[in-house]
Structure 1
Amino acid sequence: MASPGKKAFALRIDPLLWAEVERLAAADLRSVNAEVEVLLREALRTRLGEAAMARLARRPRPPSGDGDAES
């Protein structure tokens, strides 16, 4: 079950890429899920810049339980 306010989704990923993310997560003392979120934020910051990331952080979040999460 997803944490409140978080969107759950299925991800198909190359096993070698998954192993590398697991290695990074362990080195950073994070769960793989938290590591993926960190990596996505870093990638967005690189592509969009800090100003865009600040705008995203200020946007209201949709209510949890929107029915899109997989069981």
Structure 2
Amino acid sequence: MGEQLSMTIAWNNGTRGIYTSDPHLHDGHSTTFGQGIMRGQTHDELHPDQHASWEVHDRVFIRLDHM
């Protein structure tokens, strides 16, 4: 069981971004025990050398093993 997310997003300009989160949630300023924030990497599907980091810091995720 993991906390990893992977998705492909089609953008209006015809490109597609591949988004993959880290394999675990990270502690954040507003998280408590059993919660975390999501971080990861993205790249253009046709140009994998074009990449960036991303982070969801305005939402808190609950770890499945703490539900």
Q: Which protein has the bigger helix share?
A: 1
Q: Which protein has the bigger strand share?
A: 2
Q: TM-score range by the shorter chain?
A: under 0.3
Asked which structure has the greater RCO (Cα within 8 Å, sep 6+), the reply is: 1
